[in-house]
Amino acid sequence: MEEYATALSRTNIALIKYWGKLDRVFLNFSKEVPNGFGDAYAQLEKKGLDLKKLDANSTKEIAGLTKLKFPNKSTISFCVEGVEEKSDITTIPLTTVTTVYVSSGEGQIEFYLNGEKVVDESKKGYVIEFFELANSIFPDAKNYNYRIVSKNNFPTSAGFASSAAGFSALALAFVGAMSKFDAKYKEYLADKKLSALARLGSGSAARSISNGGGAVLWKRLDPTDSRLYKYASTEDPGEREKIRNEIIFDSYTQSIIPPEQLNELRVVYVKVSKKEKKVKSRAGMKQSVETDPLYWDWINYEESALLPHLYQNLIQKNYSDFYADVMKASNGLHSTALRTTPPIIYLNDESRAIIDAILELNEKQGENIAAYTFDAGPNAVIFTTDKYLDSVLDSLEQLGYSRENEKLTVAKVSKGAELIDAKLEKA
């Protein structure tokens, strides 16, 4: 017997960035209190917890939380999809469509991407890791075989992050198919639990899950949650597994502004470079947490001040100040990268030319009519409204980026992942 489910998921772009995993807090705490984290440490002391007593074994165990991808700070992002109208829902730009076929077996995984079977283990390593982590939550999942057929609708070699759409589609299709075998899986179709599952594949995938889409909040886990420190110090594997399976669902995403309230916004993806970056995000954020002397000050500032300020400006449609907050958040990420030892430089001369062009456009207008943001790489994403889209596109065209040469893609704020009535075949 074979069952299947197909999911369509959009990509997302972070306004407040995800950079650093919560488990690194514990490793730092075992040596000294991280900069800017004194208040949290005081709260822990009141709970009777002394993190300086964590020994080498417990900090090694806590390092296992890395794979659960708890963010050090909350983030806000947009779900987005291309503005081009498509009669075939499986071809919407900036989306991934995935069909997961499930049958009884022994946990074998076949993976097809864009019509080709992926045989290189290193290339499907993250998919295998996702299922290994899913098996720890659903022990019976190892008694099935999986055939995954996935299609990315992203510009060729654009360098845009497709992992968010890919793993959110995989998580939703997996749970959708498994729910046809066992009704217990149906509760995991809810956004809260499903976003936590998608996070196991890629942290950013959690932000594409919320079916409501639009502006999405990814809630961090409270770093003073005493269960985390019990997890670190217990010598009982059963207790550790129990705590782990509790907290895994306590960092989740939720839609906070529906896309129809943001329908005038436009998101312009600019392809600056298709080269693979020297320092990948997972390695870069780890280095930043460990070596940036101002890392925790930046985390606390964004969590307590910048994120709520950005949200208020967005919901009130105070776009000029919203754009300022977006650029501040982007600058903050890359300042952190530069303070890392050795410094990490993601932007190049072309990236900086785009920054100058947007700033010049805003200055000429007398107010902010657009904002730039950069994830961990040189490719730019520009936010503006329909009213000023042509002005933004004209400025970018002067730098050599246009739809005609396929160096930019115009998108809109959209809903999140959804199950669809379709089926992808492996060839």
pLDDT number for residue 136: 86
Is 400 within the bounds of a domain?
no
In angstroms, the CA 295 to CA 337 distance is: 10
Query: In total, how many domains does the chain have?
Result: 1
Is 110 within the bounds of a domain?
yes
In angstroms, the CA 152 to CA 14 distance is: 20
Cβ-contact 194, 175 below 8 angstroms: yes
pLDDT number for residue 157: 45
Q: Which domain holds residue 142?
A: 2-17+73-256
38-87 pLDDT, tens digit per residue, is 555 566 566 665 655 555 555 555 556 777 888 999 999 999 999 887 77
pLDDT number for residue 14: 96
pLDDT number for residue 226: 76
In angstroms, the CA 408 to CA 410 distance is: 7
Question: What tokens appear for 100 in the block?
Answer: 């997961």
Is 290 within the bounds of a domain?
no
pLDDT number for residue 278: 86
CATH number at residue 94: 3.30.230.10
pLDDT number for residue 25: 59
Sites in the chain below the pLDDT cut of 50: 30, 156-158
Is 245 within the bounds of a domain?
yes
Structure pTM? 0.90
Question: What tokens appear for 342 in the block?
Answer: 């050795």
pLDDT number for residue 61: 53
Is 137 within the bounds of a domain?
yes
Is 295 within the bounds of a domain?
no
Three-state secondary-structure class, residue 387: helix
Is 232 within the bounds of a domain?
yes
pLDDT number for residue 58: 54
Is 249 within the bounds of a domain?
yes
In angstroms, the CA 108 to CA 131 distance is: 10
